[in-house]
Structure formats: C-alpha cells, structure tokens
Amino acid sequence: AQSVAQPEDQVNVAEGNPLTVKCTYSVSGNPYLFWYVQYPNRGLQFLLKYITGDNLVKGSYGFEAEFNKSQTSFHLKKPSALVSDSALYFCAVRDMQGGATNKLIFGTGTLLAVQP
C-alpha cells in the first residue's frame, strides 16, 4: 500500500538553530512529493515539491527538502529556524494507484515548535 510516514509528532528547536522534519514514503514508481504547512485556523499552504530533477528542492520561507531515493525519504530542512516557523507540517505523496485522480496521501503531521 502506498503511504507516507512522519515519525515525529513534534519537533522542538531553538530559534536560530537548523531544523529537520522527517518524512519517508512508500510508493510504486517515481514519487511526486510535497510539503505543506498549516497555521492555526488557516488552510494548508504549499511549501515545496519534488517531481523530478535535482534532489535538493528549495521552497518558500527558506525551506528546502532533499529527495533520497535509496532511503525513500524527503526530509524538510531549514538552516536557521524562526519562531514564526512554528506550525504543523505535512508531507504528502501522489497516490500512484489512484487512477486519473492523482490525489495526495498525507502524513499525520509534525508539530514544529521553535523556542525563542
């Protein structure tokens, strides 16, 4: 079955330190991978995606993610965390078995807490 896993419910990091939010996936074929962020009382916002090409993808707000095919991972990273980065982060993968819909399968989310 196709799935995406976010092994950490919460990640705590001090402001100014680098952050990593982990994501691993299980799909058949070449994955399309996404990161979305959810702030309280707001909709999910797109951060970045990997479709093909360079394994290091840069996105919004200084975030980047590295696609690692051998480890089936797509970890989200930022060199220097800000308090305003505190939010709920979701990794998602395209459902390769979804026929024409190409719907996304989301992980359970990781709460990022950046302490001042």
Partner 1 sequence: GAGVSQSPRYKVAKRGQDVALRCDPISGHVSLFWYQQALGQGPEFLTYFQNEAQLDKSGLPSDRFFAERPEGSVSTLKIQRTQQEDSAVYLCASSWTLNSGANVLTFGAGSRLTVL
x/- site string to partner 1, residues 31 to 70, per CB under 8 A?
Answer: -x---x----xxxxxx--x-x-------------------
Stretch that binds partner 1, among 12-20, 67-75, 78-86, 95-103 (CB under 8 A): 95-103
Q: How far is the CB of 23 from partner 1 (least distance, A)?
A: 11
How far is the C-alpha of 26 from the C-alpha of 59, rounded, in Å?
23
Which residue is it, tokens 């709460």? 111
Residue 106 touching partner 1 (CB under 8 A): yes
Residue 14 touching partner 1 (CB under 8 A): no
Q: Rank residues 15 and 73 by Cβ distance to partner 1 and give the closer one.
A: 73
